[in-house]
């Protein structure tokens, strides 16, 4: 039996390469969002050394496919997170420890209605992110 991400990649017509698997394994094991460079460092530790551009490329691809979530951060650097929840939802991200937690709330329905009726426009995508401090960070 192969890696748990085998089928996932195949389904998306992405070749199952050691780099991709390593990237997914690393992110899936983290409850926090990581920068490409951090993923790259962890790959070295696992002796799945890869080029930094490869990491960037794969993270971008995988997030474009919806496997990974790109976290929008005020510092405008790239961050990625693996979220197993495949329903549409948004995230609460801890600005202190980088933990990501799912939010069930999404106001897209109301927004879409407003955009269509009042603005006569069409929604293409939307972004919602909540920044704050998680339970542990509040306690600490």
Residues that bind its own copies in the complex, under the rule CB under 8 A: 72, 76, 92, 94-95, 101, 103-107, 110-111, 114-115, 119-135, 137-138
Which of 14, 28, 83, 115 touches Zn ion by CB under 5 A? 83
Take residue 13 and report the two structure tokens written for it. Answer: 């017509």
Tell me the backbone φ, ψ of residue 126, rounded to 5 degrees.
Answer: -145, 160
Give the closest residue to 95 by CA, choosing from 110, 74, 112: 74
Residue 19 binds DNA, judged by CB under 7 A: yes
**Which tokens belong to 107?**
């106001």
CB of 2 to Zn ion, least distance (A): 25
Q: Cβ distance 108 to 90 under 8 Å?
A: no
CA distance 3 to 108: 35
**Structural contact between residues 38 and 95, judged by C-beta atoms closer than 8 angstroms:** no
Residue 85 touches which of its own copies, Zn ion, DNA, none (CB < 5 to 8 A by kind)? Answer: Zn ion
Of 29, 122, 131, residue with least CA distance to 84: 29
- Footprint (CB under 7 A) of DNA, residues 25-84: 35-37, 49-54, 56-58, 60, 77-78
Nearer to DNA, 51 or 66 (CB): 51
The least distance separating its own copies from the CB of residue 75, rounded to whole angstroms, comes to 10
Pairwise CA distance, residues 92 & 101, whole Å: 5
Residues that bind DNA (CB under 7 A): 9-10, 14-20, 35-37, 49-54, 56-58, 60, 77-78
Residues that bind Zn ion (CB under 5 A): 83, 85, 94, 96-97, 99, 102, 106, 108, 134, 137
């Amino acid at each position: 039996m192969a890696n748990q991400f085998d089928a996932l990649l195949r389904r998306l017509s992405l070749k199952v390469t050691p780099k991709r698997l390593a990237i997914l394994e690393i992110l899936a094991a983290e409850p926090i969002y990581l920068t490409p460079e951090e993923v790259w460092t962890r790959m070295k530790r696992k002796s799945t050394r890869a080029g930094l551009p490869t990491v960037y490329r794969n993270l971008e691809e995988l997030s474009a496919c919806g496997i990974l979530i790109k976290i929008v951060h005020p510092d405008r650097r790239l961050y990625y997170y693996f979220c197993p929840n495949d329903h549409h939802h948004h995230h609460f991200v801890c600005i202190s420890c980088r933990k990501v937690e799912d939010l069930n709330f999404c106001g897209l329905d109301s927004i879409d209605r407003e955009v269509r009726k009042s603005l006569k426009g069409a929604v293409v995508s939307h972004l919602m992110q909540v920044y704050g401090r998680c339970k542990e960070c509040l306690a600490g």
